[in-house]
Amino acid sequence: MSLKQVIVTRHDLKMSKGKLAAQVAHGSLESALKASKIALSTWRRDGAKKVVLKAENTESLYRLKQQCEDTGVVCSLISDAGHTELAPGTVTVLGIGPDEEEKIDRLTGMLQML
């Protein structure tokens, strides 16, 4: 069983590279912390595969979050604290998994790479 994690970013925000990197890190960490201990251990042992994709807007992230919840895939929606570029509470990324690669691909396969 191959596991991976996907972090989906909001393409419409046009965050700076540094801001985007920080938000992706938040999404990865928060979602990983929600995974089962077995999934987390296996994923880390096998190289902690991650893919960063882009969604068009907030609505896209909320739809994807609901699909994850409906199928039992761990996820974490990240909202910015508002200390730098974005208004407080701005939804920036959705971390998904780690979980089975095939399950995640069914949810995110239509999205483009960042």
Decide if pLDDT at 5 tops 90: yes
Instruction: Tell me, yes or no, if the pTM score tops 0.85.
Output: yes
The predicted structure's pLDDT at residue 71: 97
The string of pLDDT tens digits covering residues 103-114 is: 999 999 999 999
Distances (CA, A) of 26 to 6, 71, 94: 12, 23, 9
The predicted structure's pLDDT at residue 79: 97
The predicted structure's pLDDT at residue 1: 79
CATH code: domain of residue 99: 3.40.1490.10
The predicted structure's pLDDT at residue 47: 97
Tally the domains of the chain.
1
| Containing structural domain, residue 35 | 3-113
